[in-house]
Amino acid sequence: MPSVSCALAAAAALLLANPVAGGVMPPPRDVARYKWLVNAGSNASEPQQVHASFGEDPMTSLQFVWSTRTAADTILRFGEAGKPMTSIANGTSTPFDEPVQFIHRAAATGLRAGTTYSYVVGSPAGGWSNVSTMTTAPVPGSPEAGALVFAVYGDMGLDNERSLAWLVKDVEAGAFDAVLHVGDLGYDLDSDGGLRGDAFMNSIAPITARVPYHTMPGNHEIEGGTFKAYRSRFWMPASNDALYHSIDVGNAHFSMISSEMYFAISEYGLLMMPEQFTWLEKDLAAVDRTKSPWLVLMLHRPMYCQDDDSQGDACHTLTNPTRVGYFGQYALEPLLLKYGVDLVVGAHEHFLGLSKVLYNNNASTAAMSNQTDGSILFRNPGAPVHILAGSAGCPERLDVLSPTQPEWSAGAWDVYGYGYLSFPSASRATWSFRNDTDGSIINRLEFQQDHHGPFAA
């Protein structure tokens, strides 16, 4: 076996010529559209692009990010909903140059679990955001934890943002409690000197100011290996500049990593993939399944996919490096069995895909059954199920499904939309998908897992 450094160097050489996959970016259609969308023409120190995520302890902390065009103090005022916002947290601001702005970060800590807080961000001199609310994570195992719904999608940009209107409608109706965006945001955050990033952040602000919005980078965030706009604009808890992180929320543990480290080695360098791999294994090993029984791995580029191979993506191959690593090193798929990962969610390919119970390209339907209500039940699957949700809407449009579906596929749908993931109890999880074309709910799944832990090899 070659040494690790030799293996990585060889992989880097192979990948130097590998272009960013996912199609050709069309030219901007209307640059004027990418100017500040919210509060245009108003006080330049007024907060924009307000967004939040759960903090390091999602039950007791929330963290907020916003932008001002000119320098301003960084103040978060908050209080339990219905009461005065008497708590104050001072944060920090960092100048950003694409386009020029100041990006502010402040965290609310010492909060109560499962509690809704009112908040504003800004400063007395610069102005304040509108009053909004944000809710901390409930105690695992509680009825509130079972009622949580996560909106899940990847690949939503600013042009052809098909899911956005549905998401805004949903968040206003309280239909979901947090968002997990599986990479490719903005298309691209740094385009047009960053104006597109501003416009994208403002376009999702009706969502991000209301519920925690968790992200992981996709290939559209690489920015030559710097991830500059992504790292600057997003703040994930206890993370490596938002490149990978995990949260325990409700009855689930979500590990959200960067698949790009397996594909952009020439841009990342040779250390990021091993560093992330070491972090991930430690993260998965540390999960307390009595508190977080469900385990979900999320990464932008899927391990498997069902569209045609016109773009030559690795998910069509048996040597997909996220699955098998490089020369046997840093393979992610064995971790799925070792730690009993229930679900793997990817995106990048623009359609909805579902696998059978799947490991190492071998699929089983033994745990699957069709229920009378039209849903599919996975009862005590002995390996993960893979879901691909990369069609929230982007300028690259939908991908074309392969006319010959792989044996492991349990279905693929060429539709725009996003998923709803919930974990009603330690033994039950559900998934469904909003078809944005007509608003219908499709792909309803139920998972029953009576004993969480490592899967048998």
State the residues that interact with Fe ion by CB under 5 A. Answer: 22, 184, 218-219, 348
Nearer to Fe ion, 198 or 396 (CB): 396
How far is the C-alpha of 44 from the C-alpha of 10, rounded, in Å?
Answer: 50
Q: How far is the CB of 281 from Fe ion (least distance, A)?
A: 25
Q: How far is the CB of 388 from Fe ion (least distance, A)?
A: 11
Nearer to Fe ion, 23 or 411 (CB): 23
Q: Are 197 and 220 in contact (CB under 8 A)?
A: no
3-class SS at 279? helix
Nearer to Fe ion, 22 or 194 (CB): 22
Q: How far is the CB of 153 from Fe ion (least distance, A)?
A: 12
The string of DSSP letters for 294-320 reads: EEEEEESS-SS--B-STT--GGGSTT-
Nearer to Fe ion, 184 or 436 (CB): 184
CB burial class (10 A; 0-12, 13-18, 19+) of residue 1? exposed
Nearer to Fe ion, 22 or 212 (CB): 22
3-class SS at 250? coil
Q: How far is the CB of 259 from Fe ion (least distance, A)?
A: 9
Beta bridge partners of 152: 180, 419
Q: How far is the CB of 219 from Fe ion (least distance, A)?
A: 4
Q: How far is the CB of 283 from Fe ion (least distance, A)?
A: 23
Sequence-separated (6 or more) residues with CB below 8 Å from residue 378: 357, 367, 368, 385, 445, 446, 447, 448
**HEC per residue, 353-396:** EEEEEEECCEEECCCEEECCCCCEEEECCCCCEEEEECCCECCC
Nearer to Fe ion, 348 or 386 (CB): 348
Nearer to Fe ion, 107 or 156 (CB): 156
The residue written with tokens 């949903």 in the block is 170
Q: How far is the CB of 158 from Fe ion (least distance, A)?
A: 15
Q: How far is the CB of 114 from Fe ion (least distance, A)?
A: 34
Q: How far is the CB of 400 from Fe ion (least distance, A)?
A: 16
How far is the C-alpha of 335 from the C-alpha of 277, rounded, in Å?
Answer: 10
Radius of gyration of the chain (CA): 21
Nearer to Fe ion, 233 or 348 (CB): 348
Q: How far is the CB of 184 from Fe ion (least distance, A)?
A: 4
DSSP H stretches of helix in 141-194: 143-147, 164-172
Strands 343-346 and 385-389 turn out to be parallel
Q: For 127-183, list the strands marked E by DSSP.
A: 127-128, 132-135, 149-153, 156-157, 178-181
Q: How far is the CB of 96 from Fe ion (least distance, A)?
A: 24
Nearer to Fe ion, 104 or 350 (CB): 350
Find the residue with minimal CB distance to Fe ion: 348
Bond from prior residue into 99 cis (ω within 30 degrees of 0): yes
Nearer to Fe ion, 163 or 219 (CB): 219
Q: How crowded is the C-beta side of 336, counted as CA atoms within 13 Å?
A: 25
Burial letters for 118-127: b for 16+ Cβ neighbours within 10 Å, e otherwise? bbbbbbeebb
Q: Could you tell me which of 454, 447, 352 has the C-alpha nearest to residue 409?
A: 352
Nearer to Fe ion, 138 or 390 (CB): 390
